């Protein structure tokens, strides 16, 4: 898959601003949670060291993460997220 210019938050010209509205993402997650009956445990809107927002949800006994790229509207799902916070 060829990634478009700017999807990481950087382009050839400059740093670009986020294109995805984090409040809209949060609103949509809550709407879906009401329909599908899952619990939202947390949201992460910090972009330090990453280019996506995520919601942590509990569905039955499973934990699932809904991720959305902050610069281009691509959604992904994951069973875990390992961020590189510790460079020791």
Say what the pLDDT of residue 71 is.
Answer: 85
Say what the pLDDT of residue 18 is.
Answer: 73
Look at residues 24, 13, 79, 76 and name the one whose alpha carbon lies nearest to residue 50.
76
d(CA 23, CA 2): 28
Say what the pLDDT of residue 20 is.
Answer: 87
Low pLDDT (below 50) residues in the chain: none
- SS percent in the chain: helix, strand, coil, step 5: 15, 30, 50
Contact between 53 and 25 (Cβ < 8 Å):
yes
Contact between 52 and 62 (Cβ < 8 Å):
no
Say what the pLDDT of residue 58 is.
Answer: 95
Predicted model pTM: 0.79
Say what the pLDDT of residue 85 is.
Answer: 59
Say what the pLDDT of residue 50 is.
Answer: 86
């Amino acid at each position: 898959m060829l990634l478009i210019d700017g999807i990481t938050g950087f382009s050839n010209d400059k740093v670009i601003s986020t294109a995805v509205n984090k409040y809209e993402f949060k609103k949509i997650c809550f709407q879906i949670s009401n329909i599908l009956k899952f619990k939202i445990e947390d949201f992460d809107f910090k972009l330090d060291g990453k280019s996506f927002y995520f919601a942590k949800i509990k569905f039955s006994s499973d934990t699932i993460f809904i991720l959305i790229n902050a610069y281009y509207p691509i959604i992904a799902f994951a069973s875990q997220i390992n961020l590189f916070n510790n460079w020791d």
